[in-house]
Amino acid sequence: MSDLVVAANRGPYSLEEADNGELTVGPAGGGLAPSLASALRARGEKAVWVASAMSPLERRAAERGGVETGDSELGLRLVPLPEETYRAAYDVVSNATLWFLFHGLFDSARRPLFDRRWWEAWEQFRRYNAAFSTEVAEAANEKAVVLVNDYHLPLLGGMLARARPDLRTVHFTHTPFAEPVELALLPREVSRQLMEGMSGFGACGFHTARWEGAFCRSSMATLGKVATTFSCGLGADVARLHEVAASPECDEALTALDEVVGERAVIVRSDRVELSKNLLRGFHAFSALLEERPGLRGRVCFVARAYASRESLSDYLAYRAEAEHLVEVLNERWTPLCGGDPPILFQVDDDFPSTVAAFRRYDVLLVNPVRDGMNLVAKEGPALNERHGVLVLSEQAGAYEEMSEAAIGIHPFDVAGTAAGLATALEMGAEERRRRSSALSELAVACPPAEWLESLLERARPAGSS
């Protein structure tokens, strides 16, 4: 039992099974979880993280009664769910429906499509939220604070308000939120349950005023009322980044990168292989840059780092294949015109020290999502860069609201405009690069995870007590 409970689909630990069947618990890889976990530990008050049992190994551990993390500051409770419930809630509703909706990814001539299979998945999604509600209610002391994260768990607000009205709850959405016209893509009953569930939280938070506003408008349009809301943008976790930057692995990766890129100027990107990240238009824009500026051929390269994501969804597998194919085609075209070295280095791996090395080394950082809640790469890059690099940033990223004055803004669908933005960045004078990069590195570290976490926890309230 604890006075502070965090709920999120993905937990801050990764589990492994040794040959003798013993479970070992280590820190999870990337994303928000490690930063949030270290901010929670730093508070010096025991917290419990409630997460899905995502893999067969985690499911077995959850069924056997849980996992001992060996961490006195941060415990873990894995929600045991049948695999079909988990897959339907995570793949079909959370990722293929709500993620697409919030990032404006639907191609509405074809999707969304609410058939019988989808409605069954929605029932499973309700069960998934109910299982979290049970687990949180068991983990939370009287009047405990509960911080719930993201679109996987919107129904938890209403469920907890009924089961445990004493709890002080706050929900934080790390993605964008849908405007009423977008929310109307969901069947009315679904959007009603979604917004009802969210309005059961004591407060609902967003990274920016834009997503907060979209939530309020959608809530008014659906329910005729709005929960207490706030916005609070998360900054880069500099302490963790600097630790990685100072590691021998990162130095080795930087030396290796220097060898590959040689004297060429370096454009970097780093993303999950994810439809909202707009990788394809990024490659097209780089090709357009080489087309428009023959003088840059052989003098610039594009280091596109990406790590695989959600490969249980065919959309993601197809997107990765399309990106790999496009890079092959573009490299075939441009390599002979660029002095024989492939100008695009597309690296799909999960190697954070190499990503940090690329952040230290870039001359230009391209962050061009179709839409993004915040986008921490736009902050992590400038926080680490050692070359007065320029940030070319999508106007649709939450981070743009904070960084527009020092970044070069681009429209994510405008490939020609993105190519022009890259050219401007590459040709920028030293003085302006210095001015912009020092502004960026300051903006990037405002509101680091510990401070951000405190402002969220301060907003926690019992449901309906605005």
Which residues here bind ligand G6P, judged by CB under 6 A? 9-10, 31, 150, 174-175, 309-310, 373
Please state the closest distance from residue 101 (CB atom) to ligand G6P, in A.
13
CA distances from 347 to 167, 169, 255, 370 (A): 45, 41, 16, 21
Please state the closest distance from residue 371 (CB atom) to ligand G6P, in A.
11
Please state the closest distance from residue 308 (CB atom) to ligand G6P, in A.
10
Rounded CA gap, 383 and 386, in Å? 9
Q: Which is nearer to ligand G6P, 175 or 385 (CB)?
A: 175
What residue ranges in 165-211 does DSSP mark as E strands?
Answer: 168-173, 204-206
The structure tokens listed for 241 are 């980044």
DSSP 89-104: IIIIIIIIIIIHHHTT
List the helix and strand counts (H, then E) for the chain. 19, 15
Please state the closest distance from residue 403 (CB atom) to ligand G6P, in A.
17
Q: Which is nearer to ligand G6P, 99 or 346 (CB)?
A: 99
Rounded CA gap, 425 and 291, in Å? 16
Rounded CA gap, 360 and 347, in Å? 17
Asked whether 196 and 172 are in contact (CB, 8 A), the reply is: no
Q: Which is nearer to ligand G6P, 150 or 212 (CB)?
A: 150
Q: Which is nearer to ligand G6P, 55 or 438 (CB)?
A: 55
Asked whether 211 and 231 are in contact (CB, 8 A), the reply is: yes
Q: Which is nearer to ligand G6P, 99 or 286 (CB)?
A: 99
What 3-state DSSP class applies to 307? strand
Please state the closest distance from residue 189 (CB atom) to ligand G6P, in A.
25
Please state the closest distance from residue 399 (CB atom) to ligand G6P, in A.
12
Q: Which is nearer to ligand G6P, 175 or 287 (CB)?
A: 175
Helix or strand (DSSP H, E) at 138: helix 116-139
Q: Which is nearer to ligand G6P, 164 or 310 (CB)?
A: 310
Phi, psi of 410 (to 5 degrees): -135, 155
Rounded CA gap, 7 and 343, in Å? 43
CA distances from 407 to 247, 298, 423 (A): 29, 26, 14
Q: Which is nearer to ligand G6P, 150 or 402 (CB)?
A: 150
Please state the closest distance from residue 121 (CB atom) to ligand G6P, in A.
16
CA distances from 254 to 306, 386, 438 (A): 17, 12, 22
Q: Which is nearer to ligand G6P, 207 or 361 (CB)?
A: 207
User: Side by side, which strands form the sheet with 229-231?
Assistant: 74-79, 47-52, 2-7, 140-149, 168-173, 204-206, 229-231
Which residue's CB atom is positioned nearest to ligand G6P?
A: 174
Q: Which is nearer to ligand G6P, 375 or 441 (CB)?
A: 375
Asked whether 425 and 364 are in contact (CB, 8 A), the reply is: yes
Please state the closest distance from residue 183 (CB atom) to ligand G6P, in A.
18
CA distances from 445 to 236, 261, 390, 452 (A): 5, 29, 17, 11
Q: Residue 381: count other Cβ atoms within 10 Å of its Cβ.
A: 30
CA nearest neighbour of 150 among 290, 239, 31: 31
Please state the closest distance from residue 350 (CB atom) to ligand G6P, in A.
12
Q: Which is nearer to ligand G6P, 12 or 373 (CB)?
A: 373
DSSP 69-132: -S-SSEEEEEEP--HHHHHIIIIIIIIIIIIHHHTT---TTT-----HHHHHHHHHHHHHHHHH
